[in-house]
Structure 1
């Protein structure tokens, strides 16, 4: 049984998808913040941004994508 037994399996899957995108975005942002050009990290960040702003993202979660992106970007500058 999962930690969040009050969520149905589809909600758990949706949350896992969003959380993985957040982890991927954080990792790419961290690599890019080092000042070197990293094509793979930039591609990952761009892909995550497209996902966050997609209709699919809005079907998976009620999070405001622009708020989420701002918060993730603030982590790098903090």
Structure 2
């Protein structure tokens, strides 16, 4: 169809999704490392940097998913 844009094929949307998915992967991994080794300050710092990204204006421009909600969900997932 002419004039119809498939958002799944939009390279900018794919890039935005890839950025967010990488942040989720990094945050989840950091939380798991912190759970195993709570005194790992380098990993705590990494988790805090990712949390800062989830709370940033840039993150909000990339997605409509609430950053605080995502942080809570990932923390709950790792706690289980």
Q: TM-score, normalised by structure 2?
A: 0.86
Unmatched 5+ stretches in structure 1: none
Q: Which has the higher helix share?
A: 2
Work out the CA distance in 2 between the residues paired with 1:59 and 1:7. Answer: 18
Change in 2 beyond 3 A, CA 1:35/1:6: closer
Task: Describe the SS at the equivalent of 1:6.
Answer: helix
Unmatched 5+ stretches in structure 2: 1-5
| Aligned partner of 1:76 among 41, 63, 78 | 78
Work out the CA distance in 2 between the residues paired with 1:16 and 1:39. Answer: 27
- After superposing on structure 2, the runs of 4+ consecutive aligned residues of structure 1 that deviate more than 3 Å are none
Matched with 1:39 is 41
Matched positions, count: 75
Q: 1:77: how far off?
A: 1.2
Change in 2 beyond 3 A, CA 1:70/1:36: closer
